[in-house]
């Protein structure tokens, strides 16, 4: 590695890291530990089952702490682990201070948290407070009578006023967000499933409950919060009629309602500012201004945003255009170049596997295209989120029959499509590609039964490719996705140019290649990736003496500034003079 890159990197690391772990954000340099982190997302149901009931659990995560550490990541975000009847796999919480029985108990949680902290890994908790479960005590009380003290914890519409103004529900089989409840002859609101009634954030008591819950977990030592579906929390409770077809743009009509900022400021004052924690909200409104308004440091609301535009690329079977992909990431990067901070991710528990969506999951290209996509995530500005299994190159499972699906979103949308007379063949083909279950199959540990995930019957089948794609084999193979991932993590962690460096797009019109530079002071790196299965020629400003920092192929075919890029090849050069 060139001397100045090495020297500056080490200096920044030594000076910065010690300070950054203590402080939330340095007001002069803008540096912060949560910007320098690499987040590994664990879907606890599918990570590791310790007791043979077919469901992953916290003891299972504890068994795998050394593995998580070996990845080099320094933060873990886990999907909800609270008590829940599991209508939406934990996103329907019945006790915010309890652990779901399937997952273990509070002792397990404490041990897991300590085990992570002992390894220098921070923990991010999922906070689901746009809605609760209908089995939460608050809702039981609320629905029991119109004058119950908990009545206003939720949104109710008395039936004598007629039918409430139409609201679309994302998970309802009829798409109707108002559910009639005969106990009090009234409708309650649920933007998601019927078992996920929306909490009434306009009620100060609800807000106080939530802040107290967050304090409870912050006191336990969690380091961050991911606020689920939070952009929908504030609602216009005069319930105006919404224009026809509004459901095609739910974020515009449900997101960022005026009181949201008031609530976030209050949350910041009461919770976030009191602890060394950060918070990220799922969703960032419809515009850059919306996103900035959530995270600019001087507003004292949240620290990090994640937008959905990147996720919306490539959602249909037709695939996506690289030009669109480049445009989305480039424009979001420039909008946040000076202020605010973003997350960078290509997958999570709500979308298909990244290699099946953005790469190529055929035998020939699965590994190399997975490595390329991880190169992208780990070389962009923003905090990278890596979804469990993507370090191995895990792929979509692709179910054919509706009986194989477990996800409420898949099952209810199937019912809706059927009742509306949709073309079911096309519907099933699309579901096979886009379903959330694709990304939720059990972690592939080894070649034993059920990939070593469980000794019982897994709650969701293991992908058959586990025989080839698993930790045990990849650990031993120096050219595996897993070992490449670790190398890429190290590169990022040791070179702040990847975290803080300016981003500049090259070859904007190239149909196969995505190339950019990142620069920080004198440091300059150039990233080039071939997003296609065909070779491509890249003419790049490589300077006189480019040094290859990482390559997902054994060699580089370069003559001066011309590089012959192999299918899905990813290269990073140090190009400082
Ligand atoms: C978020 C979660 C998703 C969940 C929904 C309802 O979008 O990521 O998994 O189903 O909120 O809580």
- Return the percentage of the chain with pLDDT > 90, whole number: 92
Q: With bands split at pLDDT 50, 70 and 90, how would you rate the model's confidence at 73?
A: very high
Q: 90-124 pLDDT, tens per residue?
A: 999 999 999 999 999 999 999 999 999 999 999 99
The residues facing 536 across adjacent strands are 565
Looking at residue 28, what is its pLDDT? Answer: 76
What interhelical angle do 408-419 and 424-434 show, nearest 10?
A: 170
Rg (CA), the chain: 24
Residues 439, 397 contacting (CB under 8 angstroms): no
Instruction: Verify whether ligand 1 is closer than 6 Å to residue 550 (CB atom).
Output: no
Q: Give yes or no for residue 192 having a pLDDT over 90.
A: yes
Using CB atoms within 10 Å of the CB of residue 389, give its burial: 0 to 12 exposed, 13 to 18 middle, 19+ buried: buried
Q: Are 8 and 52 in contact (CB under 8 A)?
A: no
Same fold: 137-189 with 501-574 = no
Q: Which of 374, 336, 395, 399 is nearest to 488 (CA)?
A: 374
What is the 257 CA–ligand 1 centroid distance (Å)? 19
Q: 30-130+204-490 has which fold?
A: TIM Barrel (3.20.20)
pLDDT at residue 504 tops 70: yes
Is the minimum distance from the CB of 380 to ligand 1 under 6 angstroms? no
What residue segments make up the domains of the chain, in order of their start? 30-130+204-490, 137-189, 501-574
Cα separation, 202 vs 157, in Å, equals 15
Q: Residue 355: is its pLDDT beyond 90?
A: yes
Dist CA 171 CA 463 (whole Å): 26
Q: Is the CB of 536 under 6 A from ligand 1?
A: no
Cβ count near 72 (within 10 Å): 18
Provide the whole-model pTM.
Answer: 0.96
> Residue 338: is its pLDDT beyond 80?
yes
CB 110 within 8 A of CB 148: no
* 430 Cα–ligand 1 center, Å: 20
Q: Annotated catalytic residue: which of 49, 126, 198, 228?
A: 228
Average pLDDT over residues 322-349: 96
Name the strand (E) or helix (H) holding 426: helix 424-434
CA dihedral (382, 386, 391, 395) in degrees, to 10, reads -120
Average pLDDT of every residue of the chain:
95
| Cα-to-centroid distance, 193 and ligand 1 (Å) | 10
Do β-strands 547-551 and 570-574 pair in parallel, antiparallel, or remain unpaired?
Answer: antiparallel
Judge residue 14's burial from the number of C-beta atoms within 10 Å of its C-beta, 0-12 exposed, 13-18 middle, 19 or more buried. exposed
Distance 211 CA to ligand 1 centre (A): 20
pLDDT digits (tens, 9 = 90+) for 230-275: 999 999 999 999 999 999 999 999 999 989 999 999 999 999 999 9
The reply to whether ligand 1 has any atom less than 6 angstroms from the CB of 157 is no
Beginning with the edge strand found earlier in the chain, give each strand of the sheet holding 536-539 in spatial order. Answer: 536-539, 562-565, 557-559
Cα→Cα distances 43→55, 103, 333, 334, 387, Å: 11, 11, 28, 31, 8
Catalytic member of 102, 172, 223, 282: 282
CATH code, residues 137-189: 3.90.400.10
Q: Which of 17, 60, 26, 18 is nearest to 42 (CA)?
A: 60
Model confidence at 576, pLDDT cuts 50, 70, 90, reads: confident
Q: Are 217 and 96 contacting, i.e. CB atoms less than 8 angstroms apart?
A: no
Q: What are the tokens at 192? A: 């998601």
Average pLDDT over residues 153-164: 98
Q: Does the beta carbon of 271 lie inside 6 Å of ligand 1?
A: no
Q: Which of 17, 563, 493 is nearest to 485 (CA)?
A: 493
Rounded distance from Cα 171 to ligand 1 centre (Å): 10
- Region 486-499: mean pLDDT is 97
pLDDT, position 577: 72
Nearest atom, ligand 1, residue 350 CA? 9
**Contact call for residues 83 and 102 (beta carbons, < 8 A):** no
* Cα–Cα distance measured from residue 367 to residue 29, given in angstroms and rounded to the nearest whole number: 38
10 Å CB burial of residue 28 (0-12, 13-18, 19+) is exposed
Task: Give the position of tokens 């089995």.
Answer: 135
Residue 320 vs residue 13, higher pLDDT: 320
Q: Is the pLDDT of residue 5 over 80?
A: no
Over pLDDT 70: what percentage of the chain? 96
Confirm or reject: Cβ of 88 under 6 Å from ligand 1: yes
* pLDDT value for 537: 98
62 lines ligand 1 (CB under 6 A): no
Strand order of the β-sheet with 122-127 is: 304-306, 278-282, 224-227, 122-127, 75-78, 39-42, 383-387, 343-344
Residue 422 annotated in active site: no
Q: How far, in Å, CA of 359 to CA of 487, rounded?
A: 20
Q: Closest by alpha carbon to 387, among 79, 6, 33?
A: 79
**For the chain, first and last CA: distance in Å?**
12
Asked about 228 being catalytic, the answer comes back as: yes
One of 3.40.50.1000, 1.10.3720.10, 2.40.50.100, 2.60.40.1180 is the CATH number of 501-574, namely 2.60.40.1180
Q: Whose CA is nearest to atom 12 of ligand 1?
A: 91
Q: Is 169 within 8 Å of 175 (Cβ atoms)?
A: yes
Q: Taking residues 135-152, what's their average pLDDT?
A: 98
- The 10s digit of each residue's pLDDT in 6-39 is 555 555 555 555 555 556 788 777 899 999 999 9
């Amino acid at each position: 590695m060139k001397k100045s890159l090495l020297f500056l990197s080490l200096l920044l690391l030594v000076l910065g890291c010690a300070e950054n772990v203590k402080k939330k954000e340095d007001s002069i340099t803008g540096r912060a530990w949560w910007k320098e982190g690499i987040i590994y997302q664990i879907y606890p149901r599918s990570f590791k089952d310790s007791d043979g009931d077919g469901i992953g659990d916290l003891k299972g995560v504890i068994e795998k702490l050394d593995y998580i550490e070996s990845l080099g990541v320094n933060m873990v975000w886990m999907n909800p682990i609270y008590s829940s009847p599991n209508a939406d796999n934990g996103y329907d919480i019945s006790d915010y201070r309890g652990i779901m029985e399937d997952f273990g108990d509070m002792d397990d949680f404490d041990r897991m948290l300590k085990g992570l902290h002992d390894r220098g890994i921070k923990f991010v908790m999922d906070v689901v407070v746009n809605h609760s479960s209908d089995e939460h005590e608050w809702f039981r009380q609320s629905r029991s009578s119109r004058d119950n003290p908990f009545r206003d914890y939720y949104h109710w519409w008395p039936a004598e006023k007629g039918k409430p103004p139409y609201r679309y529900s994302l998970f309802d089989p009829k798409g109707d967000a108002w559910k009639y409840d005969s106990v009090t002859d009234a409708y309650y609101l649920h933007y998601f499933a019927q078992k996920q009634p929306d909490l009434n954030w306009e009620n100060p008591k609800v807000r106080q409950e939530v802040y107290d819950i967050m304090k409870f977990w912050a006191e336990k030592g969690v380091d961050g919060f991911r606020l689920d579906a939070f952009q929908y929390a504030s609602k216009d409770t005069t319930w105006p009629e919404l224009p026809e077809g509004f459901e095609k743009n739910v974020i515009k009509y449900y997101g960022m309602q005026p009181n949201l900022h008031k609530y976030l400021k209050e949350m910041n004052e009461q919770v976030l500012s009191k602890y060394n924690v950060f918070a990220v909200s799922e969703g960032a409104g419809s515009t850059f201004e919306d996103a900035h308004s959530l995270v600019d440091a001087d507003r004292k609301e949240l620290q990090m945003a994640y937008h959905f535009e990147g996720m919306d690329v490539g959602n249909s079977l037709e695939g996506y255009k690289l030009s669109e992909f480049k445009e989305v990431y480039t424009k979001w990067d420039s909008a946040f170049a000076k202020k605010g901070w973003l997350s960078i991710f290509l997958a999570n528990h709500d979308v298909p596997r990244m290699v099946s969506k953005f790469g190529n999951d055929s035998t020939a290209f699965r590994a190399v295209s997975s490595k390329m996509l991880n190169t992208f995530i780990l070389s962009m500005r923003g905090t990278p989120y890596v979804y469990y299994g993507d370090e191995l190159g895990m792929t979509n499972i692709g179910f054919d029959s509706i009986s194989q699906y477990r996800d409420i979103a898949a099952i209810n949308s199937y019912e809706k499509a059927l009742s509306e007379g949709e073309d079911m063949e096309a519907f099933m083909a699309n579901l096979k590609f886009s379903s959330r279950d694709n990304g939720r199959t059990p972690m592939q540990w080894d070649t034993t039964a059920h990939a070593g995930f469980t000794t019982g019957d897994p709650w969701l089948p293991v992908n058959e490719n586990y025989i080839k794609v698993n930790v045990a084999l990849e650990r031993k193979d120096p050219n595996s996705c897993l070992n490449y991932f670790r190398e890429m993590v190290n590169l990022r962690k040791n070179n702040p140019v990847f975290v803080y460096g300016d981003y500049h797009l090259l070859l904007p019109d190239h149909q196969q290649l995505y190339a950019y530079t990142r620069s920080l002071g004198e440091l300059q790196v150039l990233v080039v990736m071939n997003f296609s299965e065909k070779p491509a020629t890249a003419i790049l400003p490589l300077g006189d003496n480019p040094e290859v920092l990482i390559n997902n192929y054994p060699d580089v075919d370069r003559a001066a500034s011309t590089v012959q890029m192999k299918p899905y090849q990813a290269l990073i050069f140090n190009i400082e003079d």
